[in-house]
Amino acid sequence: MIKGIGLDIVEINRIKKANDLSPRFKEKILSKREQEIFEPLKARRQLEFLAGRFSAKEAFSKANGTGIGKECALQDIEILPNEKGQPILYYKNELVQGFVSITHSKEYAAAQVVLLA
């Protein structure tokens, strides 16, 4: 049974500007394990990764019914690849029953999250 569905889209250029303005921006968005994946990537791929994770975390917060805020911080949500590279959701270090899909083009990153009850 579906508990919630969330969808988000973000302009990659908006993420680039925020990241350029603050060297700590990526630390606000990415968990330590996500940062380990992020760091070795080339610059363009880093932006896609950062924008994709931001969008996925927003989509999760919508599907969860909390939005980003006191109950659900960006650092509470983690998206890590499984052994095949599929993104898997964790919330407050617990595996989430659901699905996340992340995509990007030259200008946008988008994500959809479906949570199961």
Say how many CA atoms lie within 13 Å of 34 toward its Cβ: 27
Q: Is 48 helix (H, G, I), strand (E, B) or coil?
A: helix
**Per residue in 46-83, pLDDT tens?**
999 999 999 999 999 999 999 999 899 999 999 999 99
Q: What is the pTM of this model?
A: 0.95
Domains, the chain, ordered by start = 2-116 (3.90.470.20)
Strands 98-104 and 108-116, bridge-based pairing: antiparallel
Helices and strands: H and E segment counts in the chain: 4, 6
**Per residue in 13-41, pLDDT tens?**
999 999 999 989 999 999 999 999 999 99
Active site residues: 62, 104
Radius of gyration, alpha carbons of the chain: 13
